[in-house]
Structure 1
Amino acid sequence: MADIHIEEFYKDAAIALAQLYNAFPRRVNLFVEDIAGPDETDEFGLHSKRHMACFGALLWLAEEGFLRYVDTIRQEALDQAVLTQEAFTRLSSPAPDALVEALRGPETTTPPSLPPSLLEDLSSHIHLVRTALKSRDSARIGHAVRATLFTDDKAPAR
């Protein structure tokens, strides 16, 4: 089992990438609370460790070339965030068949008579990320995010 903060990073990254993919090519504000849940600041106005970890994950995605943004809104959000071309291409591309089979849950069945274009959509990285998020299974989410972010063949450039 991975450390809890790594599992939370994978979940935060998956949610952020899915939100940005759903809005692409529009620029949107990416709010930490929409990803990590509500947060109460302490008596000094500081956010929780969980909130700051999510904010850090968003900044890391930007630093590693997966998204761009215009500015931060305090430590609450990224202003006018959008996927980079490389990230959009990666999320849209088909995942290897072995990965699709490995991440396929018991609730997922693919009728053999589907058109090739639909089969390709169902095997895309974004579909794997969305399916993993719906399953709420930390291991599946982690596997889908690692396969999307850390595969060498089309990883975003810095």
Structure 2
Amino acid sequence: LMQIDTPRALYEHPDNIFVAGFIGSPSMNFFDATLVKEEGNLFVDVGDFRLPVPADRMAAYSGYIGQKVVFGIRPENIHSPQFAPPNINAAPLQANIEVVELLGHELHVYLSSGTHDFVAIIDVRAQPSVGSKAALVANMDNMHLFDKNTEQAIR
């Protein structure tokens, strides 16, 4: 038994990588990363792209600057920029579109970026095409960071 809580709390605030990956379909995307500080800002550097950490999380993560971490983001928190929710901490990223699955009300887009494969659930109006490069944004308000060694959530 890893964590006891309501289904919503398990989904939104997993205590570790196992719970984060177990709850939700498709499961959370995980990236090996390094937390870096540059000009007073924190970034999650996954090698293929660098994403800014929201200001309200900087204090919680500051003890991990320069360390290897695991960055987690759920597929529904990666958006086509033109259909992203308003007022989010949107971090741009690019990836190659490998597969697109239309599920009626949403698209599951399977992506690759250098050494990383991941999934985005995007608005059907985006009309991505296989083989093209997608410009996307990650909603960093809903990012997760895990200790690389213990696999516990960093909060």
TM-score of the superposed pair, with normalisation by structure 2: 0.27
Would you tell me which structure has more strand in proportion to its own residues? 2
Name the larger-Rg structure. Answer: 1
